[in-house]
Amino acid sequence: MQKITPHLWFDTEAREAAAFHVAAFGGDSAVAGVTTISDTPSGEVDIVAFRLFGYQFMSISAGPEFRINPSVSFIVNFDPAQRADAKPALENLWVKLAAGGNVLMPLDRYPFSERYGWVQDKYGVSWQLILTNPEGEPRPPIIPSLLFTNQACGQAEAAMKFYTSMFRETREGLVARYGHDQAPDREGTPMFADFMLQGQWFAAMDSAGAHEFSFNEAVSLTVNCESQEEIDYFWGKLSAVPQAEQCGWLKDKFGVSWQIVPAKMGELMGGTSEQRARVTRAFLKMKKFDLTELEAAYAGKE
């Protein structure tokens, strides 16, 4: 299990979107499972686990409260050093993701890549497809990317340092900065930076342009914790907006949404319908998860 798993919030389309993405990506991509829970504030809810190119995602159909936007996107690396068909595979995936979607940056040649494009697919999920420089340091096929806009603009580097201060297996990677002639962006702020948390790569970018979006709960990062001590640790480090605390969800000081959950949550929600109902009743009352109470609910000792 990945330590940190992106989580996508949909109105009703979690199953449909996962099937679409799995078919588009192919290769080591599959829907791993669907769990349906009832009697939530959103009614009956589907929770979907799936993987794309071996990278794990979660999604949920939980109503129209939040809409996915490009503040969190996913870089898809096609490295000619790792696959001979990198360029045609990139272009094939682009066609599938762009169908019915919204092109944010056309698939073209740019100073940083011979082939790159940024697209928001028909389900709202944003993807940056890039032909990687085969002479550069290798990166995994999929990297979540955080775009710091509006009030969060200028905080990408501070966020990177904050995150790397609290996780294990961390390091900073490439940092490309804006120059003096790239207004409205401030000289020296990160045009692009990447960094490692728990052995997983992430990216961060500042953008001072006019954007009608910023971070929200529609894309969150789930931290899978092995113990209550670990839940307490990450909750204490990350939570900065008390009113956003609910059912394991929180917001950090940059506006990014996280979920701090027990690594065994899948097991707790994978029992009988009665066990799922008891665990659901228990966690709906919580802000920070209490692992002992969740285990007691699962065992029928509410």
Taking only the tens place, the pLDDT of each residue in 72-127 is: 999 999 999 999 999 999 999 999 999 999 999 999 999 999 999 999 999 999 99
- Other CB atoms within 10 A of residue 158 CB: 14
Handedness of CA 142, 217, 264, 35 (dihedral sign): negative
pLDDT band with cut points at 50, 70 and 90 for residue 302: low
pLDDT at position 260 is: 98
Contacts of 96 (CB under 8 A, 6+ apart): 23, 24
Asked if the model's pLDDT at residue 4 lies above 90, the reply is yes
pLDDT in tens, 248-278: 999 999 999 999 999 999 999 988 889 998 9
Share of the chain above pLDDT 90, in %: 90
**What's the mean pLDDT in 197-208?**
97
Residues 171-181, mean pLDDT to the nearest whole number: 93
What is the distance, to the nearest Å, from the Cα of residue 8 to the centroid of all Cα atoms in its chain? 7
- Place 38 in a pLDDT band, splitting at 50, 70 and 90: confident
| Residue 189 buriedness (CB in 10 A; 0-12 / 13-18 / 19+) | buried
pLDDT score at 135: 85
Q: What is the pLDDT at residue 144?
A: 98
Kind plus residue range of the DSSP H or E element containing 89 = helix 86-98
- What's the mean pLDDT in 157-178? 96
Cα(241)–Cα(222) distance, rounded to whole angstroms? Answer: 17
Residue length, the chain?
A: 302
52 CB burial (10 A radius; 0-12, 13-18, 19+) = buried
Amino acid 283: pLDDT? 92
More confident residue, 283 or 136: 283
Residue of 134, 137, 149 lying closest to 104 (CA atoms) = 149
Do residues 95 and 26 make contact, with C-beta atoms less than 8 angstroms apart?
no
Measured CA to CA, the distance from residue 71 to residue 134 in angstroms comes to 27
> Residue 127: its pLDDT value, please?
98
**pLDDT greater at residue 210 or residue 68:** 68
Q: How confident is the model at residue 43 (pLDDT cuts 50, 70, 90)?
A: confident
Token reading at 94:
């682009």
Confidence of residue 222 (pLDDT cuts 50, 70, 90): very high
Structure tokens at 142: 């999929």
User: Tokens 């109503």, residue?
Assistant: 63
Alpha-carbon gap, residue 36 to 38, rounded angstroms: 7
Q: How far is Cα 103 from Cα 127, in angstroms, rounded to an integer?
A: 10
Q: Quick one: CATH architecture of 72-206?
A: 2-Layer Sandwich (3.30)
